[in-house]
Amino acid sequence: MNKKDAGLLILIVVVGAIVAMINPRFLLPINLANTANLIGLFGILSIGQAFVIITGGIELSVGSLIALLGVLFVDLIANLGMDWPLAFMLILVVGGLIGLAHGWLITRLKLQPFVVTLCGLLIYRGIARFYTADGTAGFGFGQNFPTLEFLTAGRTYGIPNSFIALLIIMGVTWVVLHRSVFGRYLYAIGKNEEAARYSGIRTGRMVMAAYVICGVLTALSAIYFAMYTRSISPASHGNFYELYAIAAAVLGGFSLRGGEGSIFGVILGTILLQELQNLVNLLGIPSSLNFAVMGGVILIGVLVDQQWDVFRARRRLSKAAHFTPSN
């Protein structure tokens, strides 16, 4: 655990203690379980976003993708009668292909990630609304899928399965990002893409792979959200979820310039965000201020990241100034 992660963990404990003192309901098992469920749902999404951010990119279409892929998944199993395992895999493949398309546009046609994913945000939301005729997608009366519902919305010994899934994904992605050549390449690309290219790294393929990973994890998150809500209004479902993912990554130490961050950090960022959301609900703060809280959190996270870099740069200069090589 690095210093940033340790500091964030301390902040989470302090905020949790303050909330518990203000409102003891914070520590009720049902509240902790519901919070853990939301951490699982948004954590999966945030890890995908982190893989893109570490390359110096951004993915703004994840909220709209959650709406579109969620609508498609519900329609496949509820209306078209497809077996849910097949539909599950199909949605993951579609998410990966969309990520691949984004990566291709960015690396081959040299479009800006902001432009590509912003267009995706608008396109996927529009397709979702058109697909349902601006209606609501959901399950019919009496329709149930016991195994799927248990895996996505159920609990094991009181622990939400979405949170368990997050822990598994966290373990796998931690190894990929921090203990593999692929992960080192992503960090190198985020630090200096041109230098990485001259050192022999196929930067285009690595960046496309990062967007594919983001697309697959977004698709997985879309399935979990669909089974959690069981009803999807494509005009609003997943709205601003990209902000949650970006905020969690930034709070977790991922620099928007790329090349920094840890998987453990993004999980801590997700926990802090959900803790703050819980604080808003328990203290009776109007829900209309949720996005104001999110905006403030993102701003503070970016400021802290920037000032931390300034501090480290000054520290290096100070050490260099006091260094006197011996003759």
pLDDT value at residue 204: 92
Residue 69 phi/psi, 5° resolution?
A: -70, -30
One-letter amino acid identity for 26?
Answer: F
In this predicted structure, the answer to whether residue 326 has a pLDDT above a threshold of 60 is: no
| Interatomic CA distance for residues 116 and 119, integer angstroms | 5
| Interatomic CA distance for residues 239 and 232, integer angstroms | 12
Please state which of the ranges 107-111, 179-183, 271-275, 292-296 shows the lowest mean pLDDT: 292-296
In this predicted structure, the answer to whether residue 64 has a pLDDT above a threshold of 80 is: yes
pLDDT value at residue 305: 67
| Interatomic CA distance for residues 239 and 90, integer angstroms | 23
| pLDDT tens readout for residues 112-126 | 999 999 999 999 999
For residue 183, name the pLDDT band (cuts at 50, 70, 90): very high
pLDDT value at residue 264: 92
Closest to 189 (Cα-Cα) out of 172, 177, 201: 201
In the numeric block, which tokens belong to residue 247?
Answer: 């905020």
In this predicted structure, the answer to whether residue 255 has a pLDDT above a threshold of 90 is: no
In the numeric block, which tokens belong to residue 267?
Answer: 């999980």
| pLDDT tens readout for residues 165-179 | 999 999 999 999 999
Look up tokens 């996270």; give the residue.
301
Contact 47, 266 (CB under 8 A): yes
pLDDT value at residue 72: 95
What integer is the mean pLDDT of 207-235? 94
In this predicted structure, the answer to whether residue 327 has a pLDDT above a threshold of 60 is: no
Terminal-residue alpha carbon distance, the chain: 39
Count of residues for the chain? 327
In this predicted structure, the answer to whether residue 19 has a pLDDT above a threshold of 60 is: yes
H runs (alpha helix) in 23-83: 29-53, 62-78
